[in-house]
Structures are given as C-alpha cells and as structure tokens.
Amino acid sequence: MKQLLSFWHTLHHSFNNLLPIILVVAVFQTLVIRQVPDGLIGMIIGLGIVVFGVAIFLQGLELGIFPVGKNLSNNFARRGSLPLLMGFGFCLGFAAVIAEPALIAVAEQAETISEGRINAFTLRLLVAFSVGLVVALGVVRTLLGQPLHWYMIIGYLLVVTVTFFAPEEIVGLAYDSGGVTTNIVTVPLIAALGIGLATAIKGRNALAHGFGLVALAVMVPMIAVQFYGIVVYTLFPADPTELANGAGAMALAGEVDTAIQATAGSYALGMLKDLALMLRDVLPIIAVILFFQYAVIRKKLPYLQRTVIGFSMVIIGLYAFVVGLKLGLFPVGTSMAEQLIGLDTLLYVYLFAFCIGFATTMAEPALIAIGEQAEEAANGKLTGSHIRLLVAGGVAIGITIGVHRIITGDSIHYYIMSGYALVIFLTWLAPKFIVPLAFDLGGVTTSEVTVPLVTALGIGLATQIEGRNVLIDGFGLIAFASIFPIVTVLLYAIIMERCKPDRGESA
C-alpha cells in the first residue's frame, strides 16, 4: 500500500511536469492557430505514455539505484582513498550518462539528420566518457576544497576557443549534448555524490563544495563533441549533397513514422526486443553499482528484492519514455513549428518559444529542490521563489533568442561565444558563493520533458524555413536554455551584492 501511494505521488509529479506544456500548446492551438493538429490522438497517447514512463522510471530509481548509490558514496568517503573515489566517480558519471534518455533521443536524431556521419552510439560514448572524467575531477576539487569559479572561467574560455574553430554542423549539437547530460538520471546521482563527499570531509561546506559537479558535467562534453565534429567534418569531409535539408527532414519524418509503427503496433516479441535494447542502455550503471558493491566493498546488497524490482522498473520506464517521445513529444514540437511558421506573423513563434521555456521551467522538480538549497546558501540574498523566476525567465529568454537565430539564419558561433563570454565576465564579478549554484541551476533547467520538445521545435523550424540546414540550424536551443539562466542568476546576485555592500559573502 505504501509503495502504491508513493507511485501515485510520483505519477502526479510526472503529470505536473508535463502539464505546463499541455496548457501552452492548448492555448496556442485554440486561440492562435485555431485548428486541430494532425495525429492528435496519437500525440495524446504518446504524452500519456511519457507520464507513466517517467513515473515508473523515477520510482525504480528511488527503490533500487539511489539507495545503493548513496550507500556506496558513504562507504568510499569513509575510506578516504583518492584513487577509489576517483574511480567510482568516473564509473558513476559514465554509467549515468550512457543511460540518459534525453541524450539517447538527441543522439538518434543527430545520426538520422546527418545521414549517419554522426554515429549515435559514438556520440553517447564520447559524452559519457567526458562526464566520467569530469566527476573524477570534481571529486578531487571537493577533496582539496578548491573554489569552482576558476574551473568554470578556464573551462569556458576553452569552450569558446574550440567553438571558434569547430565546424558549424557540430556546434549546436555539441552544446545541446552538454545540456542533456544533466537530466533525469544524472543530476540526482552526481549531486548526491558531491554533497555526500563534502558532508563527510571535515572542513568542507556542503553548499560551497558539494555543488558544481553538475556544472562541470555540462561543460566538458561541449568541448569533446566539438573536437569530434572537427574530426568528422574537417579532417574527413564528405560530399555536401549528403547534408541537404530535404533529405535530412525526410529521414527524420521517416524515423518518427517507423518508430510509431514499430512501437505502437508491435507484438510481444517486438516489445521484448525493445526492452532488451533498453536493458543494454541501463546495463552500465547496474554493472558499476554491482561491481563496486561486491568486488570493492564486498558486502551483500541490502534489500535485494526491492533493488531488483527497482532496476526492472528503471528499464521498463525507460522503454515507455522513449516510446512516448516518438509518439507524442517529437510530433508536438514539429507540428507546432510547422503551424506557427505558416501564420502571417512570426511574433507568435517568439511568443510560443518564450511561454514554453518559462512554463516548463517553473514546473521543473529538480529546480524546485535545488532552489531551496540555494536559498540557504545565499543567506537571504536570494529566495527559492526568486530563483525559480530568475531561472525560468532565463530559459524563456534563451529559447526565444535561439529561435530568433534559426529564423534569421545567423551563425550559432557568434551567439554561443558571446553568451559564454558574458557568463565568464559575470562569473568574475559575482559573489563567489553563488557561482557553483548558478552553474548548477543552468544545468537542471533541461528536463526529461522539455529537452525532446525543444529539440523537435528547433528541428521543425529549420525544416520549415527555406534555406535552413536541419543539422546546422535545428540544434542549439537547449544550449541557449542552459546559458541564460546562469546569466540571470549571476546578474541578480551581483546587483543584490552591490545594493547591500555591508553584508559579507558566505563561505
């Protein structure tokens, strides 16, 4: 009974996360577009599957993976072995990201639109390896008690430098790949590791030294994927006709249609095959936990039956989530882009982008949770409600600017480099206690529901606007959604600090 009640709360939580998107889409369909989208029933079914998939997935994490992961972190922190902590951090970061559903979705779209030049599994391995290295580095930073702002300033200077040389086909995808690493699996696991270590080490402050791993996990994949793009597009160039817009758009549409037919109409054997693929995706994180539990700590898993049930729910939830994406959220984003571009004015495109960004972020559960901790860290200079408004406003502004870039056809290089140059400048000026929180807040704004819809919106706009290349112009919105919350939070902290010079900074 207790577990059923917990699942009901999780289901309600998942629905609330999706509700703002439903409301914004319904308002625009009713008052602006004034027509029923094609395939409405399929979209509704897909959205319902997403809600159930996310709920089952989250419940599985709570039952199985989180308790075991937390227990491992506490055991390693007590042992105090740096190589062991770094090894566990690397494996945990790698395993969490390789199973990240939003990264799976973005990587598959990138492979389809690039007609195989970008390999989805290679992209996922590259991003996961980058995050593993980042978490290992973050463990060292926590142990040494080093401030985060130097890591972020030097890191983003490198990001901007690499962006200058990276081919335009990869820039948007690279920044989106960084954004989607901080999502439904990664944030809780990585944040728990950082805070757990900071709590266990004498002389460390959980808020000052525990935060920042999520921020680092966003940054480093951006660099790695851009280097991957330099190899694929600069060192081994292909025939330009392979990247034609029409072919990419048709391939994407064909993928969605195939997915709908394969998932909605499959029989038991097909479903078992799809579940086996999900098991392959989740297997790394299960293998890491089991290896460190039995081979390193050498203790049996507590509550073995509950853990097995939790792991099974994670796999089933992931399967349902991916099916729901292809049936519901991808078509919604693409359909809305097509309908809005067809109107007499582009004003509604900008308005829709702003509303979707603001509404989805205000309902983001991870943002609500981290906002409460940020309020405590800021010693009254920021409140949880102010933080949510600042971050939601930043996401809304970012997505709107990203949509403007797609409409105008401007190069993403200059937008991204300018955005992060502003972030670096504000990081230098901002009170140092707020820097880790600000960068983490930029990472938690891209939820498991927001990412697929925003990605589909960008691809849909690039498909519908003449002269746009889907691979070059369709990606990048997630990057804008991650940059501008950092800007708004840092800027607000700077203003508040200047207005109250008599109040000292917190350590």
Q: Which residues of 310-337 are buried (b: 16+ CB within 10 A; e: fewer)?
A: bbbbbbbbbbbbbbbbbbbbbbbbbbbb
Would you state the structure tokens that stand for residue 50, as one six-digit string?
């997403």
Three-state SS for 246? helix
State residue 394's pLDDT score.
Answer: 93
CA dihedral 33, 37, 41, 42 (to 10 degrees): -130
Nearest to 403 by CA among 343, 437, 352: 352
Amino acid type, 210: G
H-only helix segments in 265-344: 268-291, 304-324, 330-341
State residue 350's pLDDT score.
Answer: 92
**Per-domain residue ranges of the chain:** 67-312+329-499
| Phi/psi of residue 38, nearest 5 degrees | -65, 140
Q: CA-CA distance, 176 to 218, in Å (whole number)?
A: 9
pTM: 0.69
Q: CA-CA distance, 208 to 204, in Å (whole number)?
A: 8
- Residue ranges of the chain with pLDDT lower than 50? 240-267, 503-507
State residue 59's pLDDT score.
Answer: 82
Question: Residues 367, 388: contact at Cβ < 8 Å?
Answer: yes
State residue 503's pLDDT score.
Answer: 46
Question: Residues 486, 454: contact at Cβ < 8 Å?
Answer: no
State residue 398's pLDDT score.
Answer: 92
Q: What is the DSSP letter of 476?
A: -
Write the pLDDT tens digit of every residue in 361-412. 876 656 765 666 566 655 565 676 778 888 889 999 999 999 999 998 888 8
State residue 268's pLDDT score.
Answer: 58
Would you state the structure tokens that stand for residue 174, as one six-digit string?
């690279």
Contacts for 63 with CB less than 8 Å, ≥ 6 apart: 3, 306, 307, 309, 310, 313
| Phi/psi of residue 280, nearest 5 degrees | -60, -35
Q: What is the DSSP letter of 504?
A: P
Q: CA-CA distance, 217 to 433, in Å (whole number)?
A: 19
State residue 343's pLDDT score.
Answer: 82
Q: What is the DSSP letter of 468?
A: -
Q: How far is CA 449 from CA 47, 325, 348, 404, in A?
A: 10, 9, 22, 22
Q: How far is CA 166 from CA 233, 256, 499, in A?
A: 9, 29, 41
State residue 404's pLDDT score.
Answer: 92
State residue 436's pLDDT score.
Answer: 77
